[in-house]
Amino acid sequence: MRIFVTGASGFIGSALIPELTGAGHHVLGLSRSDSSAKAIAAAGAEVHRGSLEDRDSLKAGVAAADGVIHLGFNHDFSKWEANCEDDRQVIDVLAAQLAGSERPLVVTGGIGTQTPPGQVATEQDPALPSSVLPRTASEEAALAAAEQGVRASVMRLPQVHDRDKQGLITMLIPIASEKRVSAYLGEGTNRWPAVHVLDAARLYRLAIEEGARGIRYHAVAEEGVEFREIAMAIGERIGVPTASISENEAADHFGWLARFVSLDMPASSALTQKLLGWVPSHTGLIADLRSAAVAGASRR
Report the CATH number of the 2-160+194-222 domain: 3.40.50.720
Residue ranges covered by each domain of the chain:
2-160+194-222, 165-193+223-265+286-299
Distance CA(74)–CA(119), nearest Å, equals 31
pLDDT of residue 296: 40
pLDDT of residue 259: 86
What is the spatial order of strands in the sheet that 2-6 belongs to?
46-49, 26-31, 2-6, 67-70, 104-110, 151-157, 216-218
pLDDT of residue 78: 82
pLDDT of residue 76: 84
Distance CA(201)–CA(19), nearest Å, equals 7
Distance CA(105)–CA(213), nearest Å, equals 9
Instruction: Give the predicted TM-score (pTM) of the model.
Output: 0.94
According to the CATH classification, is domain 165-193+223-265+286-299 in 3.90.25? yes
**CA 51 to chain CA mean position, Å:** 19
pLDDT of residue 102: 94
pLDDT of residue 9: 96
In a structure prediction context, what are the per-residue pLDDT tens digits for the chain, which is 300 residues long?
999 999 999 999 999 999 999 999 999 999 999 999 999 999 999 999 999 999 999 999 999 999 999 999 988 878 889 999 999 999 999 999 999 999 999 999 999 999 998 899 999 999 999 999 999 999 999 999 999 999 999 999 999 999 999 999 999 999 999 999 999 999 999 999 999 999 999 999 999 999 999 999 999 999 999 999 999 999 999 999 999 999 999 999 999 999 899 999 999 999 999 999 999 999 999 999 988 644 443 333
Nearest CA to 127 out of 259, 218, 257, 220 is that of 218
